Structure 1
Amino acid sequence: MRISELSSRSGVSTASIKYYTREGLLPAGERTGYNQTEYTDAHLQRLRLIRSLIDVGGLPVAAVARVLTAVDTPELPLGEVLGVAQHALPQAIAPPSAQAVQRAEAFVAEHGWHVHDGNPGLRAVAGVLDGWAGVGREDLVSVLPAYARAADIVAAADVDAVSAGIRAAAEGGDRDSAAQTVVVGTVLGDQLLAGLRRIAQEHAATQRYGLNPPTDRSTP
Protein backbone atom coordinates (compact mmCIF):
# COMPACT_ATOMS: atom_id res chain seq x y z
CA MET A 1 0.00 0.00 0.00
CA ARG A 2 1.10 3.59 -0.52
CA ILE A 3 1.74 5.92 2.40
CA SER A 4 -1.60 7.67 1.81
CA GLU A 5 -3.45 4.38 2.27
CA LEU A 6 -1.35 3.51 5.30
CA SER A 7 -2.25 6.88 6.79
CA SER A 8 -5.94 6.41 6.05
CA ARG A 9 -6.11 2.90 7.48
CA SER A 10 -4.06 3.69 10.59
CA GLY A 11 -5.44 7.16 11.32
CA VAL A 12 -1.85 8.45 11.56
CA SER A 13 -0.84 11.42 9.46
CA THR A 14 1.74 10.96 6.70
CA ALA A 15 3.97 13.48 8.49
CA SER A 16 3.89 11.35 11.67
CA ILE A 17 4.57 8.17 9.68
CA LYS A 18 7.68 9.77 8.18
CA TYR A 19 8.71 11.04 11.62
CA TYR A 20 8.36 7.59 13.19
CA THR A 21 10.47 6.17 10.37
CA ARG A 22 13.21 8.77 10.89
CA GLU A 23 13.20 8.06 14.65
CA GLY A 24 13.51 4.32 14.08
CA LEU A 25 10.11 3.40 15.51
CA LEU A 26 8.72 2.26 12.15
CA PRO A 27 10.72 0.29 9.57
CA ALA A 28 11.10 2.01 6.23
CA GLY A 29 8.86 0.91 3.39
CA GLU A 30 10.16 -0.65 0.19
CA ARG A 31 11.16 1.82 -2.48
CA THR A 32 9.44 0.83 -5.72
CA GLY A 33 10.30 3.84 -7.84
CA TYR A 34 11.11 7.50 -7.79
CA ASN A 35 9.30 9.04 -4.81
CA GLN A 36 7.26 5.86 -4.38
CA THR A 37 7.32 3.61 -1.32
CA GLU A 38 5.23 0.55 -0.57
CA TYR A 39 4.09 -0.48 2.92
CA THR A 40 2.63 -3.74 4.21
CA ASP A 41 0.17 -4.86 6.85
CA ALA A 42 3.18 -5.27 9.17
CA HIS A 43 3.70 -1.51 8.99
CA LEU A 44 0.03 -1.00 9.79
CA GLN A 45 0.23 -3.23 12.84
CA ARG A 46 3.41 -1.51 13.98
CA LEU A 47 1.76 1.91 13.67
CA ARG A 48 -1.17 0.73 15.77
CA LEU A 49 1.27 -0.50 18.43
CA ILE A 50 3.12 2.83 18.40
CA ARG A 51 -0.07 4.84 18.73
CA SER A 52 -1.35 2.59 21.53
CA LEU A 53 1.83 3.11 23.53
CA ILE A 54 1.63 6.87 23.00
CA ASP A 55 -2.12 7.58 23.11
CA VAL A 56 -3.22 5.01 25.68
CA GLY A 57 -0.02 4.24 27.55
CA GLY A 58 1.07 7.88 27.71
CA LEU A 59 4.68 7.16 26.73
CA PRO A 60 6.80 9.85 25.09
CA VAL A 61 8.30 9.01 21.70
CA ALA A 62 11.78 8.48 23.18
CA ALA A 63 10.41 5.87 25.61
CA VAL A 64 8.47 4.15 22.81
CA ALA A 65 11.72 3.94 20.84
CA ARG A 66 13.47 2.19 23.73
CA VAL A 67 10.61 -0.24 24.18
CA LEU A 68 10.39 -1.11 20.50
CA THR A 69 14.16 -1.58 20.30
CA ALA A 70 13.79 -4.20 23.02
CA VAL A 71 10.97 -5.86 21.09
CA ASP A 72 13.09 -5.89 17.94
CA THR A 73 16.16 -7.45 19.60
CA PRO A 74 15.73 -11.23 19.16
CA GLU A 75 18.51 -12.19 21.57
CA LEU A 76 17.06 -10.10 24.42
CA PRO A 77 15.29 -12.34 26.97
CA LEU A 78 11.65 -11.51 27.60
CA GLY A 79 12.43 -10.82 31.25
CA GLU A 80 14.70 -7.99 30.14
CA VAL A 81 12.03 -6.72 27.74
CA LEU A 82 9.76 -6.51 30.79
CA GLY A 83 12.37 -4.42 32.60
CA VAL A 84 12.66 -2.02 29.67
CA ALA A 85 8.86 -1.63 29.56
CA GLN A 86 8.69 -0.98 33.31
CA HIS A 87 11.38 1.70 33.16
CA ALA A 88 9.62 3.35 30.22
CA LEU A 89 6.50 4.07 32.25
CA PRO A 90 6.02 7.67 33.46
CA GLN A 91 7.51 8.34 36.89
CA ALA A 92 7.32 11.15 39.38
CA ILE A 93 9.64 14.05 38.64
CA ALA A 94 10.91 14.53 42.19
CA PRO A 95 13.06 11.67 43.54
CA PRO A 96 11.76 10.04 46.73
CA SER A 97 13.53 10.49 50.03
CA ALA A 98 16.08 7.92 51.14
CA GLN A 99 13.93 7.18 54.19
CA ALA A 100 10.88 6.43 52.02
CA VAL A 101 12.93 4.15 49.78
CA GLN A 102 14.11 2.23 52.83
CA ARG A 103 10.53 1.88 54.06
CA ALA A 104 9.44 0.65 50.64
CA GLU A 105 12.27 -1.88 50.55
CA ALA A 106 11.38 -3.06 54.05
CA PHE A 107 7.75 -3.56 53.08
CA VAL A 108 8.75 -5.48 49.94
CA ALA A 109 10.97 -7.77 52.02
CA GLU A 110 8.25 -8.23 54.63
CA HIS A 111 5.74 -9.17 51.94
CA GLY A 112 8.15 -11.78 50.64
CA TRP A 113 8.88 -10.19 47.28
CA HIS A 114 12.33 -10.53 45.71
CA VAL A 115 13.28 -7.74 43.29
CA HIS A 116 16.48 -5.94 42.28
CA ASP A 117 17.34 -2.56 43.73
CA GLY A 118 16.62 -0.76 40.46
CA ASN A 119 13.02 -1.90 40.16
CA PRO A 120 11.07 1.30 39.31
CA GLY A 121 8.21 0.18 41.52
CA LEU A 122 10.33 0.83 44.60
CA ARG A 123 10.71 4.48 43.62
CA ALA A 124 7.00 4.76 42.87
CA VAL A 125 5.98 3.30 46.23
CA ALA A 126 8.51 5.48 48.04
CA GLY A 127 7.13 8.55 46.28
CA VAL A 128 3.62 7.73 47.51
CA LEU A 129 4.93 7.27 51.05
CA ASP A 130 6.53 10.71 50.84
CA GLY A 131 3.27 12.13 49.51
CA TRP A 132 1.26 10.68 52.37
CA ALA A 133 3.76 11.97 54.89
CA GLY A 134 3.70 15.40 53.29
CA VAL A 135 -0.03 15.78 53.83
CA GLY A 136 0.01 14.23 57.29
CA ARG A 137 -1.71 11.01 56.25
CA GLU A 138 0.80 8.35 57.14
CA ASP A 139 -2.12 6.37 58.52
CA LEU A 140 -2.84 5.39 54.92
CA VAL A 141 0.16 3.06 55.09
CA SER A 142 -2.33 0.57 56.54
CA VAL A 143 -3.70 -0.09 53.01
CA LEU A 144 -0.36 -1.40 51.72
CA PRO A 145 -0.91 -5.09 52.61
CA ALA A 146 -4.28 -5.17 50.82
CA TYR A 147 -2.83 -3.41 47.79
CA ALA A 148 0.08 -5.86 47.77
CA ARG A 149 -2.28 -8.84 47.76
CA ALA A 150 -4.14 -7.36 44.80
CA ALA A 151 -0.83 -6.72 43.04
CA ASP A 152 0.10 -10.39 43.50
CA ILE A 153 -3.06 -11.44 41.67
CA VAL A 154 -2.45 -8.99 38.83
CA ALA A 155 1.22 -9.96 38.53
CA ALA A 156 0.29 -13.65 38.31
CA ALA A 157 -2.09 -12.87 35.46
CA ASP A 158 0.66 -10.87 33.72
CA VAL A 159 3.19 -13.68 34.04
CA ASP A 160 0.62 -16.22 32.82
CA ALA A 161 0.14 -14.18 29.65
CA VAL A 162 3.89 -13.87 29.12
CA SER A 163 4.38 -17.59 29.78
CA ALA A 164 1.84 -18.39 27.09
CA GLY A 165 3.82 -16.23 24.67
CA ILE A 166 7.10 -17.92 25.64
CA ARG A 167 5.59 -21.37 25.07
CA ALA A 168 4.25 -20.30 21.68
CA ALA A 169 7.66 -18.91 20.69
CA ALA A 170 9.38 -22.11 21.85
CA GLU A 171 7.00 -24.13 19.69
CA GLY A 172 7.97 -22.20 16.59
CA GLY A 173 5.77 -19.17 17.14
CA ASP A 174 6.67 -15.54 16.69
CA ARG A 175 9.07 -14.25 19.36
CA ASP A 176 8.09 -10.67 18.44
CA SER A 177 4.49 -11.45 19.35
CA ALA A 178 5.58 -12.68 22.79
CA ALA A 179 7.68 -9.55 23.28
CA GLN A 180 4.75 -7.36 22.28
CA THR A 181 2.61 -9.18 24.85
CA VAL A 182 5.12 -8.14 27.53
CA VAL A 183 5.17 -4.52 26.36
CA VAL A 184 1.45 -4.06 25.80
CA GLY A 185 0.57 -5.90 28.99
CA THR A 186 2.92 -3.73 31.04
CA VAL A 187 2.26 -0.31 29.51
CA LEU A 188 -1.45 -0.57 28.73
CA GLY A 189 -2.01 -2.73 31.79
CA ASP A 190 -1.31 0.26 34.02
CA GLN A 191 -4.14 2.16 32.34
CA LEU A 192 -6.40 -0.88 32.51
CA LEU A 193 -5.84 -1.22 36.25
CA ALA A 194 -6.52 2.48 36.81
CA GLY A 195 -9.79 2.22 34.90
CA LEU A 196 -10.92 -0.93 36.68
CA ARG A 197 -10.04 0.63 40.02
CA ARG A 198 -12.26 3.65 39.35
CA ILE A 199 -15.14 1.37 38.36
CA ALA A 200 -14.65 -0.85 41.40
CA GLN A 201 -14.41 2.17 43.74
CA GLU A 202 -17.82 3.44 42.67
CA HIS A 203 -19.32 -0.04 42.95
CA ALA A 204 -17.84 -0.62 46.42
CA ALA A 205 -18.96 2.79 47.67
CA THR A 206 -22.47 2.22 46.33
CA GLN A 207 -22.68 -1.24 47.90
CA ARG A 208 -21.34 -0.11 51.25
CA TYR A 209 -22.88 3.32 51.65
CA GLY A 210 -25.77 3.33 49.18
CA LEU A 211 -24.27 6.30 47.35
CA ASN A 212 -25.74 7.48 44.08
CA PRO A 213 -23.44 7.49 41.03
CA PRO A 214 -21.56 10.80 40.83
CA THR A 215 -22.63 13.39 38.31
CA ASP A 216 -20.30 13.83 35.34
CA ARG A 217 -18.74 17.27 35.76
CA SER A 218 -16.21 16.88 32.96
CA THR A 219 -18.12 19.38 30.79
CA PRO A 220 -19.70 22.73 31.70
Structure 2
Amino acid sequence: MRLSDLSTRSGVPTATIKYYLREGLLPAGDRVTASRSEYTEAHLRRLRLVRALVQVGGMSIAATKEVIRAAEDDTLDQHQRFGAAQEALFSGRPDAEERPEPGTAARAAVDELLAETGWGECVDQPLYWNLVDAVTALERLGHPCDITRLRPYAAAVAPLTEYEVDVLAGYPDEEQLEAMVALTVLNEPILLALRRIGHAEVSATRFGSSGTGGHPAGAGAPNVG
Protein backbone atom coordinates (compact mmCIF):
# COMPACT_ATOMS: atom_id res chain seq x y z
CA MET A 1 0.00 0.00 0.00
CA ARG A 2 1.08 3.60 -0.53
CA LEU A 3 1.77 6.06 2.28
CA SER A 4 -1.62 7.66 1.66
CA ASP A 5 -3.28 4.24 1.99
CA LEU A 6 -1.38 3.59 5.22
CA SER A 7 -2.61 6.93 6.53
CA THR A 8 -6.22 6.21 5.54
CA ARG A 9 -6.29 2.74 7.08
CA SER A 10 -4.56 3.76 10.30
CA GLY A 11 -6.17 7.16 10.78
CA VAL A 12 -2.70 8.65 11.32
CA PRO A 13 -1.83 11.77 9.27
CA THR A 14 0.86 11.33 6.64
CA ALA A 15 3.03 13.99 8.29
CA THR A 16 2.99 11.99 11.54
CA ILE A 17 3.83 8.76 9.71
CA LYS A 18 6.81 10.49 8.05
CA TYR A 19 7.95 11.67 11.49
CA TYR A 20 7.71 8.12 12.87
CA LEU A 21 9.73 6.90 9.88
CA ARG A 22 12.45 9.50 10.52
CA GLU A 23 12.56 8.58 14.21
CA GLY A 24 12.89 4.88 13.45
CA LEU A 25 9.60 3.98 15.10
CA LEU A 26 8.37 2.59 11.80
CA PRO A 27 10.58 0.59 9.42
CA ALA A 28 11.15 2.02 5.97
CA GLY A 29 8.88 0.82 3.19
CA ASP A 30 10.03 -1.01 0.09
CA ARG A 31 11.33 1.56 -2.37
CA VAL A 32 9.41 1.40 -5.69
CA THR A 33 10.58 4.63 -7.27
CA ALA A 34 12.74 7.53 -6.14
CA SER A 35 9.69 9.20 -4.61
CA ARG A 36 7.48 6.29 -3.64
CA SER A 37 7.59 3.36 -1.23
CA GLU A 38 5.22 0.49 -0.60
CA TYR A 39 4.05 -0.50 2.89
CA THR A 40 2.67 -3.78 4.20
CA GLU A 41 0.26 -5.05 6.83
CA ALA A 42 3.25 -5.28 9.19
CA HIS A 43 3.75 -1.52 8.83
CA LEU A 44 0.09 -0.97 9.60
CA ARG A 45 0.29 -3.16 12.71
CA ARG A 46 3.43 -1.37 13.93
CA LEU A 47 1.91 2.04 13.24
CA ARG A 48 -1.18 1.19 15.28
CA LEU A 49 1.04 -0.05 18.11
CA VAL A 50 3.14 3.14 18.16
CA ARG A 51 0.03 5.30 18.06
CA ALA A 52 -1.52 3.37 20.94
CA LEU A 53 1.64 3.58 23.07
CA VAL A 54 1.95 7.32 22.52
CA GLN A 55 -1.71 8.35 22.65
CA VAL A 56 -3.29 5.82 25.02
CA GLY A 57 -0.27 4.69 26.97
CA GLY A 58 1.05 8.23 27.34
CA MET A 59 4.59 7.20 26.45
CA SER A 60 7.12 9.65 25.07
CA ILE A 61 8.63 9.16 21.63
CA ALA A 62 12.00 8.41 23.25
CA ALA A 63 10.52 5.77 25.55
CA THR A 64 8.58 4.21 22.68
CA LYS A 65 11.79 3.97 20.65
CA GLU A 66 13.54 2.18 23.52
CA VAL A 67 10.71 -0.33 23.86
CA ILE A 68 10.67 -1.11 20.15
CA ARG A 69 14.46 -1.36 20.02
CA ALA A 70 14.38 -3.90 22.85
CA ALA A 71 11.60 -5.86 21.18
CA GLU A 72 13.58 -6.12 17.94
CA ASP A 73 16.92 -7.18 19.46
CA ASP A 74 17.70 -10.43 17.62
CA THR A 75 20.64 -11.22 19.93
CA LEU A 76 18.18 -12.09 22.73
CA ASP A 77 15.86 -15.04 23.08
CA GLN A 78 12.12 -14.52 23.54
CA HIS A 79 12.24 -14.40 27.34
CA GLN A 80 15.18 -11.98 27.32
CA ARG A 81 13.43 -9.72 24.83
CA PHE A 82 10.31 -9.71 26.97
CA GLY A 83 12.49 -8.65 29.89
CA ALA A 84 14.34 -6.00 27.89
CA ALA A 85 11.08 -4.53 26.63
CA GLN A 86 9.63 -4.53 30.16
CA GLU A 87 12.74 -2.74 31.43
CA ALA A 88 12.39 -0.13 28.70
CA LEU A 89 8.72 0.32 29.56
CA PHE A 90 9.47 0.85 33.25
CA SER A 91 12.94 2.32 33.27
CA GLY A 92 12.68 4.39 36.46
CA ARG A 93 15.61 3.02 38.43
CA PRO A 94 16.65 5.10 41.46
CA ASP A 95 20.28 6.07 41.82
CA ALA A 96 22.26 3.82 44.13
CA GLU A 97 22.45 6.47 46.85
CA GLU A 98 18.65 6.81 46.81
CA ARG A 99 17.89 3.12 47.20
CA PRO A 100 16.57 2.00 50.60
CA GLU A 101 19.01 -0.14 52.55
CA PRO A 102 18.21 -3.87 52.78
CA GLY A 103 17.24 -3.50 56.43
CA THR A 104 14.49 -0.93 55.84
CA ALA A 105 10.94 -2.11 56.42
CA ALA A 106 9.80 -1.47 52.86
CA ARG A 107 12.67 -3.26 51.19
CA ALA A 108 12.52 -6.11 53.70
CA ALA A 109 8.80 -6.60 52.98
CA VAL A 110 9.39 -6.67 49.23
CA ASP A 111 12.32 -9.09 49.56
CA GLU A 112 10.26 -11.40 51.77
CA LEU A 113 7.36 -11.36 49.32
CA LEU A 114 9.56 -12.16 46.32
CA ALA A 115 11.22 -14.97 48.26
CA GLU A 116 7.82 -16.45 49.10
CA THR A 117 6.51 -16.22 45.55
CA GLY A 118 9.72 -17.33 43.86
CA TRP A 119 9.82 -14.14 41.83
CA GLY A 120 13.35 -13.26 42.88
CA GLU A 121 14.68 -13.01 39.34
CA CYS A 122 13.68 -9.35 39.22
CA VAL A 123 15.67 -8.33 42.33
CA ASP A 124 17.79 -5.22 41.63
CA GLN A 125 16.00 -4.70 38.30
CA PRO A 126 13.94 -1.57 37.52
CA LEU A 127 10.62 -3.27 38.31
CA TYR A 128 11.95 -4.34 41.69
CA TRP A 129 12.86 -0.75 42.52
CA ASN A 130 9.48 0.48 41.28
CA LEU A 131 7.86 -1.83 43.85
CA VAL A 132 10.26 -0.84 46.62
CA ASP A 133 9.67 2.85 45.87
CA ALA A 134 5.90 2.42 46.09
CA VAL A 135 6.07 0.56 49.39
CA THR A 136 8.55 3.13 50.74
CA ALA A 137 6.21 5.99 49.80
CA LEU A 138 3.35 4.32 51.69
CA GLU A 139 5.59 3.86 54.72
CA ARG A 140 6.55 7.54 54.69
CA LEU A 141 2.90 8.56 54.51
CA GLY A 142 2.14 6.53 57.60
CA HIS A 143 0.52 3.58 55.81
CA PRO A 144 2.75 0.58 56.58
CA CYS A 145 2.75 -1.96 53.78
CA ASP A 146 4.24 -5.06 55.34
CA ILE A 147 4.24 -8.62 54.03
CA THR A 148 0.64 -9.23 55.15
CA ARG A 149 -0.50 -6.23 53.08
CA LEU A 150 1.50 -7.33 50.04
CA ARG A 151 0.46 -10.99 49.97
CA PRO A 152 -3.11 -10.42 48.69
CA TYR A 153 -1.75 -8.38 45.77
CA ALA A 154 0.68 -11.12 44.78
CA ALA A 155 -2.07 -13.73 45.14
CA ALA A 156 -4.36 -11.71 42.87
CA VAL A 157 -1.67 -11.01 40.27
CA ALA A 158 -0.26 -14.55 39.96
CA PRO A 159 -3.18 -16.11 38.02
CA LEU A 160 -3.58 -12.96 35.95
CA THR A 161 0.02 -13.08 34.77
CA GLU A 162 -0.34 -16.77 33.89
CA TYR A 163 -3.42 -15.93 31.86
CA GLU A 164 -1.74 -13.03 30.04
CA VAL A 165 1.32 -15.09 29.10
CA ASP A 166 -1.02 -17.81 27.80
CA VAL A 167 -2.73 -15.14 25.67
CA LEU A 168 0.64 -14.01 24.30
CA ALA A 169 1.61 -17.58 23.48
CA GLY A 170 -1.41 -17.74 21.19
CA TYR A 171 0.03 -15.11 18.87
CA PRO A 172 2.34 -16.02 15.96
CA ASP A 173 6.01 -15.71 16.93
CA GLU A 174 6.51 -12.57 14.85
CA GLU A 175 3.64 -10.82 16.66
CA GLN A 176 4.32 -11.89 20.25
CA LEU A 177 6.66 -9.06 21.21
CA GLU A 178 4.40 -6.36 19.79
CA ALA A 179 1.47 -8.00 21.56
CA MET A 180 3.40 -8.09 24.83
CA VAL A 181 4.17 -4.39 24.62
CA ALA A 182 0.63 -3.47 23.65
CA LEU A 183 -1.02 -5.65 26.29
CA THR A 184 1.40 -4.52 29.01
CA VAL A 185 0.73 -0.84 28.42
CA LEU A 186 -2.91 -0.91 27.39
CA ASN A 187 -4.21 -3.55 29.80
CA GLU A 188 -3.07 -1.46 32.76
CA PRO A 189 -5.74 1.25 32.25
CA ILE A 190 -8.30 -1.58 32.12
CA LEU A 191 -7.03 -3.02 35.41
CA LEU A 192 -6.98 0.40 37.04
CA ALA A 193 -10.50 1.25 35.87
CA LEU A 194 -11.90 -2.11 37.02
CA ARG A 195 -10.17 -1.74 40.39
CA ARG A 196 -11.67 1.71 40.92
CA ILE A 197 -15.11 0.52 39.83
CA GLY A 198 -14.79 -2.27 42.38
CA HIS A 199 -13.77 0.25 45.05
CA ALA A 200 -16.84 2.35 44.30
CA GLU A 201 -19.20 -0.62 44.51
CA VAL A 202 -17.72 -2.03 47.72
CA SER A 203 -17.67 1.45 49.26
CA ALA A 204 -21.33 1.94 48.36
CA THR A 205 -22.24 -1.35 49.99
CA ARG A 206 -20.25 -0.80 53.16
CA PHE A 207 -20.37 2.95 53.69
CA GLY A 208 -23.28 4.24 51.55
CA SER A 209 -26.35 5.82 53.11
CA SER A 210 -28.78 3.22 54.37
CA GLY A 211 -31.37 2.33 51.77
CA THR A 212 -29.68 4.08 48.84
CA GLY A 213 -28.14 0.87 47.54
CA GLY A 214 -25.36 2.73 45.75
CA HIS A 215 -22.91 5.57 45.77
CA PRO A 216 -23.85 9.19 45.06
CA ALA A 217 -24.21 10.13 41.41
CA GLY A 218 -20.84 11.02 39.92
CA ALA A 219 -18.90 9.79 42.94
CA GLY A 220 -15.75 7.94 42.15
CA ALA A 221 -13.98 5.20 44.02
CA PRO A 222 -12.09 6.09 47.17
CA ASN A 223 -8.35 6.33 46.70
CA VAL A 224 -6.99 3.45 48.74
CA GLY A 225 -3.54 3.27 47.25
The 5-angstrom pairing of residues 120-159 of structure 1 reads 120-138=126-144, 142-159=148-165
Match of 1:179 in 2: 177
Matched residue type, 2:185 = V
The 5-angstrom pairing of residues 1-220 of structure 1 reads 1-74=1-74, 76-90=76-90, 95-98=98-101, 99=104, 100-138=106-144, 142-165=148-171, 174-210=172-208, 211-215=214-218
> How far off is 1:151 after superposition?
1.2
Q: Could you tell me which runs of 5 or more consecutive residues in structure 2 were left unpaired when the two chains were aligned.
A: 209-213, 221-225
Change (3 A) 1:89 1:179: closer
In 2, Cα distance between equivalents of 1:101 and 1:84: 24
Matched residue SS, 1:31: strand
Q: Deviations over 1:182-215 (max 9, x none)?
A: 2222222322221221222222222333441551
> How far off is 1:49 after superposition?
0.9
In 1, Cα distance between equivalents of 2:32 and 2:19: 20
Matched residue type, 1:43 = H
Identity of aligned residues (%): 35
Q: Could you tell me which runs of 5 or more consecutive residues in structure 1 were left unpaired when the two chains were aligned.
A: 166-173
- The answer (yes or no) to whether the contact 2:70–2:88 under 8 Å persists in 1 is no
Matched residue type, 2:13 = S
The normalised TM-score by structure 1 is 0.80
Matched residue SS, 1:80: helix
In 2, Cα distance between equivalents of 1:161 and 1:119: 25
Change (3 A) 1:145 1:17: same
The normalised TM-score by structure 2 is 0.78
> How far off is 1:5 after superposition?
2.9
> How far off is 1:73 after superposition?
3.8
Match of 1:171 in 2: none
In 1, Cα distance between equivalents of 2:145 and 2:108: 18
Matched residue type, 1:206 = A
Matched residue type, 1:209 = F
In 1, Cα distance between equivalents of 2:36 and 2:25: 20
Return the structure number with greater relative CO, CA threshold 8 A, min gap 6: 1
| Number of equivalent positions | 209
Q: Deviations over 1:141-185 (max 9, x none)?
A: 6431111111112111122223334xxxxxxxx421122232222
Instruction: Compute the RMSD of aligned alpha carbons.
Output: 2.7
- The answer (yes or no) to whether the contact 2:57–2:185 under 8 Å persists in 1 is yes
Match of 2:223 in 1: none
- The answer (yes or no) to whether the contact 2:90–2:126 under 8 Å persists in 1 is no
